[in-house]
Structures are given as structure tokens and as C-alpha cells.
Amino acid sequence: MTTPRNTLGAFEWEGTQWLIGADADVVNDADSRIEVGLLSGAKINYFPHMVLGAIASHPTFLDGATKVKGEKFRKRLIVDIECLAFARGEELLAKLQTIEAFSKDGMTYEVQWRYFTVHPEGYGAAIVAHRQMKEFDQHAKQFHILDIGNGTITLTTYNCFGNKPLAGIPRSGSGGGVLAILEKFSEAANYGDHETIYLDQLRKALERSTVIEDNGSKRYQAIVAGSRNDVGASLQVGLRDWKDKHPATRKVLKEVDEALLDGEYVFCCGGGFEIPPIEDFIRAQFPHSDRLIVLPTPGTISLRALEEIKNG
């Protein structure tokens, strides 16, 4: 794949050119596209590529590289990384250390991975929730973080004692995240004898979907570009099937119910909660529970909280 210079997310590593991010969707050669969220183990195997893609997408990050003496087209880059992941930190670091150099826009960068640490996914949200717990219930022993990401739905228990929350073993629902919702949404939207609605169209419709309140009742609106059809009813069916038919989702949501019935707090985060119908649907599963709390800016709160800690 050949990509032009000065393109977000484009770089060369080990003799292969890569384009990471949203622009990769427009590459004509479908055989060269890799959807990390759909492949088992891909988040670990392609971790180096995602890191380089993030670096290559940043407008100023590479400005911090220093020139190598006597080399016009070679620079040295020192990188510190703090990330959120389920995977073992040493496994991710070993993958990352396979990158000794990469190229972007005609410049080669020698890389030194100086600092690397991994926190549990949702840990930043747990820091915010931990502060709130001090106000809600000073005697509480634990709380929970429900995280709906792109690929997983996860419930993690955190200990309230001490200055920082301590994580238990996550109840991970691999494959139960937004991609699973999208799959069920697609099945519902394409049921019957009518024009096929493609997955990329439904993905965009899901991202911009809304909750409409009308005379005391609610419905979901999801508009498909091109036809301008509203497939909100199919989204509602898809969400119901995601809850009822996906084993991981069913298991995690049952454990959420157990926690709420025990009088414990469940704080919600992850990109799934940025989509209004998903948040509304989750809330509807636990009516009359004021202990299910969606944290502000749920899709980015974990990263922002870690940044606050780093800056003191």
C-alpha cells in the first residue's frame, strides 16, 4: 500500500507501509485492511502498529525528536507510554520493543522506549469514582466500573480503602462491546426483503443515533446516509438481542444487577456510553436504581484522569 506524505497515521516499518486510523477505511484494496477489533489476539499482535499509528497521527509529537549527528534524514525519539489494557504489561512491552526504527514523510526515527506502564482498562474512571464514593458512602467497602468499549464489556470491582482504588479481577466479556451491538443491529436492519444496508453505513448511523422522547414514550432514531431511512427500531431490536443472546453481555449485566441489588454503586464508562441509545438501554435494564451512574465524558474519562494524576 502506498500512502502520500503528510498523511495522518501513515508510516513505514520493516519495509511495509501502513495507514492506521479512520482514513484506512477508504483504502481501495479491501484485502489489505485489518480490523483489529474483529480478530482474536489482534490487540496484542498489532499493538506496535497502533502505537506507531498514534504517533504518526499526532500533529506535533515528532517535533520532539532530536537529530542524529551527521545524518540528514535520521532522528532519535525517546518515548514514555502509559496506557490502559487488559493484556499483561510485559507482553505489550515485548511487542513494542520490536520497534527499533520507523519512517514517516522521508525521515527515519530511531526509537527508545524509556518508560512503559499499563493500568487496567477503566482505571482512570475508577479514580474519579473513588473520589465520588467518599461523598456517597464513606463506609462502603467496594464499588464497580462497568466499561463498554469497542470490543469488550467489562465489570471490575474496586476496593475503596486507601488513597487509590485497588482493582479486583475484571469480569471481562470479550467480544461483547460496541462491535457486538453493531453485529446485532446489522442482523435486525437487514432482516427481510429490502435493499442491503452495509456495515459501515450502520456504524455511522449508530454513532450519530439519538433518543427521541414523544408523549412520555421513547424511541431510538438512527438515520442511514443515502436513503435517509430511520432504522432506530432495528437498533432497539439489536440492543435487545445483544443483551439476550450474547453470552458475555448477559453474564456481565447479571453481575451488574447483583451489585445494585446488594446496594453497591456501579459507575459506567467507555465509548459505548457516548452513544445515547446504548446508555438509555443500559439504564432501562436497572429501573429505579440511583446507584448506576454514568460518569461525565465516559469515552475519555479514563485517559483524562490518568493525565490529571501524571500532572499532579
pLDDT digits (tens, 9 = 90+) for 220-230: 999 999 899 99
Give the three-state DSSP class for 294.
Answer: strand
Question: Residue 76's closest CA among 101, 98, 42?
Answer: 101
Q: Which helix (H) or strand (E) holds 104?
A: strand 101-104
Q: Under 8 Å CB-to-CB from 159, ≥6 apart: which residues? A: 141, 142, 165, 166, 168
Contact 54, 82 (CB under 8 A): no
Average pLDDT value over all residues in the chain:
88
Q: Which residue has the higher pLDDT, 300 or 239?
A: 239
Question: Residue 232's closest CA among 200, 274, 202, 254?
Answer: 202
pLDDT above 90 as % of the chain: 59
Amino acid letter, 47:
F
Q: Read off the C-alpha cell for 259.
A: 451489585
Q: Read off the C-alpha cell for 1.
A: 500500500
Question: Residue 185's closest CA among 170, 199, 165, 174?
Answer: 199
Mean pLDDT within 190-201: 86
Structure confidence at residue 165 as a pLDDT band (50, 70, 90):
confident
Rg (CA), the chain: 22
Structure confidence at residue 309 as a pLDDT band (50, 70, 90):
low
Q: Under 8 Å CB-to-CB from 177, ≥6 apart: which residues? A: 37, 148, 149, 150, 151, 152, 153, 270, 272
| Beta carbons within 10 angstroms of residue 173's beta carbon | 24
